Structure 1
């Protein structure tokens, strides 16, 4: 008798997930086309990056350049609680509704350092630079074709 009770209990436990889905109904393509889910994505994480050099070259006749060497972004963090967001929005430009990719920029914690700043590609460094606690919170970048 005890074995039968255990078997009935085990069967009931195994059947419970199937009973939870009992009210699911199939949808045809017309009904499905009007259904939308949660849109947009969020991006968070810790990023490590380095850039060998960024060179600005003046286009005038004397031609000079400015070189930023050894650019480092060690452990730049975008928190889970305030992620970068990516979404599609519709904005009216003139009288035309235009879909745009909207990137919401968050607070970014971490430092950006530049090891050397040189005037001319072979000149001596005139110093270094650190940008601390970059904060882009509340900024939005919108991208669209035209």
Structure 2
């Protein structure tokens, strides 16, 4: 009997919750403009990828990057010291910046709607500002922060291999891309 009572009480609670939930309402421009809070979204991307080939072909000629890997570049023990006498393990490239001790948490990409000087709305895509953060850290005698990232692949022109292309460890990056219609 107590089991039946418990199930009935649980069912009644669920019914009450579903009835008491607020409904979603469509907002017009004026109503949406009156809403306050933080706008935009922040995206954090940690990437571990292997790509067979990325190629560009034009009039019979081609340039390609083959056997591409995107990772954190910590392949050998000494590649990525962790500052405590050890090394970071091999894994995904961590494209944002996280320094909890300083209260810094920068996403890979921030997406916001902003207004330019003439009042036109624009979509702003903002990269983490490592350049400013590293200048401030260096001025205080602290080491620069690095986004642990490696992109490596074999560079080909046509069928001929030119060698290996590698990009790693970003310390200076900042920028905003704005997009708007006209």
TM-score with structure 2 length normalisation? Answer: 0.51
Q: Which runs of 5+ in 2 are unaligned?
A: 1-26, 72-91, 99-104, 131-146
Per-residue displacement from partner, 1:55-92 (whole Å, max 9, x unpaired)?
Answer: 12234xxx321111122112111234121211111114
Q: Deviation of residue 49 (structure 1)?
A: 2.4
CA distance in 2, matches of 1:143, 1:41: 16
Change in CA separation of 1:50 and 1:101 when aligned onto 2, cut-off 3 Å: farther
Superposed, 1:21-100 pairs within 5 Å as 33=31, 34-59=34-59, 63-74=60-71, 75-77=92-94, 78-80=96-98, 81-83=105-107, 84-92=109-117, 97-100=119-122
**Paired residue for 2:123, among 91, 95, 101?**
101
Q: Is the 8 A contact 1:105 1:136 kept in 2?
A: no
Which one has a larger percent strand, Structure 1 or Structure 2? 1
Across the aligned residues of Structure 1 and Structure 2, the Cα RMSD in angstroms comes to: 2.4
Q: How many residue pairs are counted as aligned between the two chains?
A: 107
Per-residue displacement from partner, 1:85-130 (whole Å, max 9, x unpaired)?
Answer: 11111114xxx5321111111254311111x21111xx24221111
Partner of 2:150: 111
Q: Which has the larger radius of gyration?
A: 1
Per-residue displacement from partner, 1:26-61 (whole Å, max 9, x unpaired)?
Answer: xxx9xx9223221122222422223321212234xx
Superposed, 1:11-26 pairs within 5 Å as none
**Poorly superposed stretches of 4+, deviation over 6 Å:** none
Q: Which runs of 5+ in 1 are unaligned?
A: 1-28
Classify the secondary structure of the residue corresponding to 2:161. Answer: coil
Classify the secondary structure of the residue corresponding to 2:68. Answer: strand
